[in-house]
């Protein structure tokens, strides 16, 4: 089932060059993807009501101008979403979001998902991070390598996440029992 709407970014899972980016941070991150930072920045924006985070018409510009920039800085802080949000909160930058739980599973089902209208998840896929979310009856996957995809139903989104995870699992030489990790936030 293809996404009903999408915004494709193709291969921008890296810092956005030295123009507009701290030179020292760029040197520290040289050659490394920033998927964890981009995914965390996207979740933070989505859960705080930033319209561009889920608007496929404006997402590419938002991704290039904001998410890659913020994602580079978050990645430079080290860690993943839970680390990023805790560090931001400790520095007085209230993220206004909190963790609602963690799920480790080889295959995601709807039963694993939060029972609320708005949530986001940081999905760890063997060295790569993607985001998934539900907001006001809309369903999204955001992969820093490919873009933002909106699905008509929760079932379609879960199915596409599992298909993508299985492809990554094969590429990384993992078995079908190797688990993904989902950190949920609201």
Sign of CA pseudo-dihedral 73, 79, 85, 86: negative
**For position 18, what pLDDT does the model report?**
44
- Encode the chain (186 residues) as per-residue pLDDT tens digits: 678 888 887 655 555 554 555 556 656 665 567 888 899 999 999 999 999 999 999 999 999 889 988 888 787 777 666 677 787 778 888 888 889 999 999 999 999 999 999 999 999 999 999 999 999 999 999 999 999 999 999 999 999 999 999 999 999 999 999 999 999 999
Q: Which two tokens stand for residue 32?
A: 């490394």
Q: What share of the chain is helix, strand, coil (3-state, %, to 5)?
A: 40, 25, 40
DSSP for 19-51 reads TTS-HHHHHHHTT---HHHHHHHHHHHHHTT-G
**For position 26, what pLDDT does the model report?**
57
**For position 102, what pLDDT does the model report?**
96
- Does the predicted TM-score (pTM) go above 0.95? no
**For position 11, what pLDDT does the model report?**
56
| CA angle, 18 then 19 then 25, to 5° | 35
**For position 15, what pLDDT does the model report?**
55
Name which CATH class applies to 5-185: alpha beta
**For position 67, what pLDDT does the model report?**
92
């Amino acid at each position: 089932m293809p996404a009903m709407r999408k915004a494709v970014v193709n291969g921008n899972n890296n810092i956005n060059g030295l123009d507009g980016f701290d030179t020292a941070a760029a040197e520290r991150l040289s050659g490394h993807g920033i998927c964890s930072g981009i995914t965390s920045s996207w979740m933070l924006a989505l859960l705080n009501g930033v319209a561009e985070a889920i608007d496929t018409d404006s997402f590419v510009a938002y991704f290039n101008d904001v998410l890659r920039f913020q994602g580079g800085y978050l990645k430079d802080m080290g860690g993943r979403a839970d680390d990023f949000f805790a560090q931001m909160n400790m520095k007085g930058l209230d993220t206004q979001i909190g963790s609602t739980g963690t799920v480790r599973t080889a295959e995601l089902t709807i039963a694993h998902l939060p029972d609320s209208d708005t949530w986001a998840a940081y999905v760890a896929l063997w060295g790569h991070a993607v985001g998934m979310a539900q907001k006001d009856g809309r369903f999204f996957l955001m992969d820093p390598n490919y873009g933002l995809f909106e699905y008509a139903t929760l079932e379609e989104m879960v199915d596409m996440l599992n298909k993508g995870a299985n492809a990554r699992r094969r590429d990384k030489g993992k078995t079908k029992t190797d688990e993904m990790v989902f950190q949920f936030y609201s």
